[in-house]
Chains A and B, each alone.
Chain A
C-alpha cells in the first residue's frame, strides 16, 4: 500500500524559512517522480514543484521559483521542500504527491494527507 506522510509544517513569520518532509513507503521510491501540491484555505489546488526519480530534473511553479527548492533522498525514501522568503500567500496545506512515471508531472496517482503551513506575524 502506498503511503505518503508529510511533516514539518507550522507557523512561520513572513520572510522566514521552513523545510517540509515526506516519508514514502509501499513502492519503489527512486523509480517515480514526486510532486508538491498546495491548497490555500478554502481555495483550489496549485501545483508547486516536481522532481524526477533520479533527482536529475526539477521544475517549479512561477509563484515559488527562486524561493523554494525540491529535493529527495532515495536512500531514505524521503522527499523534501525547502521554503525560503515565505510570504502570507504561501499559507496552505502542502501535499506530497506521487507521479506514475519516473519523470514528468503528467498526473498524480497518490496523495499524502498534507501538512499545514501558516505564514503570519
Chain B
C-alpha cells in the first residue's frame, strides 16, 4: 500500500486559517472513518490532534478541526499562532489491520 498524499508545505499568516489535505483511496481514507492527524515538533514524538475524521482529544484547541470528502481528508487550523508552526501527518486505517501515514506537511506561520 502507498503512503497517503499530503502537500509538502503549507503556510498562513497569524490569525488566518490554513487547510492541509490528505489524499488516499477508497481502500483507506474513503473506506473508513478512521482518519487521524498528528502534530510533530522537531525532535519530539508525534501528538494526536484529530481522530475519527473530526474528533478532538481533550486538551487540543478547538482551532484544530478535521473533515473528509470522498478519498480526501483535511485538517484546518484556524486563528493561526506561531506555536502551530511545525510538521503535521495524516493517517488512515487501510483495512486488514494496516495503518497508513501521509508523507507530512510542514506548516509555516508567516
Bound: A113/B44 CA distance, A: 7
Contacts of B34 on A, CB cut-off 8 Å?
Answer: 106-107
B94 to chain A, nearest CB (A): 9
In the complex, A110→B52 CA distance in Å? 15
Chain B residues engaging chain A, CB cutoff 8 angstroms: 1, 3, 32, 34, 36, 38, 40, 44-48, 51-52, 57, 89, 91, 93, 96-104
Known: A44-B104, A50-B97, A108-B46. 9 other contacts (CB 8 A): A44-B101, A105-B97, A106-B32, A106-B34, A108-B48, A108-B99, A109-B48, A109-B51, A114-B45
- Specify which chain A residues have a CB less than 8 angstroms from the CB of B45 in the assembled complex: 95, 111-114
What B residues does A104 contact at CB under 8 A? 93, 97
Show the binding face of A for B, using Cβ within 8 Å.
35, 37, 44-47, 50, 57, 59, 61-62, 95, 100, 104-114
B56 to chain A, nearest CB (A): 12
Instruction: Collect the chain B residues with CB atoms within 8 Å of residue A105's CB.
Output: 93, 97-99
When chains A and B are docked, how far (Å) is the Cα of A61 from the Cα of B38?
20
Whether the pair B91, A44 counts as a contact (CB closer than 8 A) is no
CB of A59 within 8 A of CB of B48, answer no
Task: Give the dominant DSSP class at A's interface.
Answer: loop
Question: Could you tell me if B97 and A107 are in contact, using CB atoms closer than 8 angstroms?
Answer: no
Given contacts A107-B34, A107-B91, A107-B93, contact A45 B101 (CB under 8 A): yes
Tell me whether B99 and A47 are in contact (CB under 8 A): yes
Q: Which residues of A contact B97 (CB under 8 A)?
A: 50, 57, 59, 104-105
By beta carbon, the residue of chain A nearest B47 is A111
- Beyond A105-B93, A109-B57, A114-B45, whether A44 also contacts B103 by CB under 8 A is yes
* A106/B93 in contact, CB under 8 A: yes
Contact B46 A95 (CB under 8 A): yes
Contacts of A111 in B (CB 8 A): 45-47
Contacts of B101 in A (CB 8 A): 37, 44-47
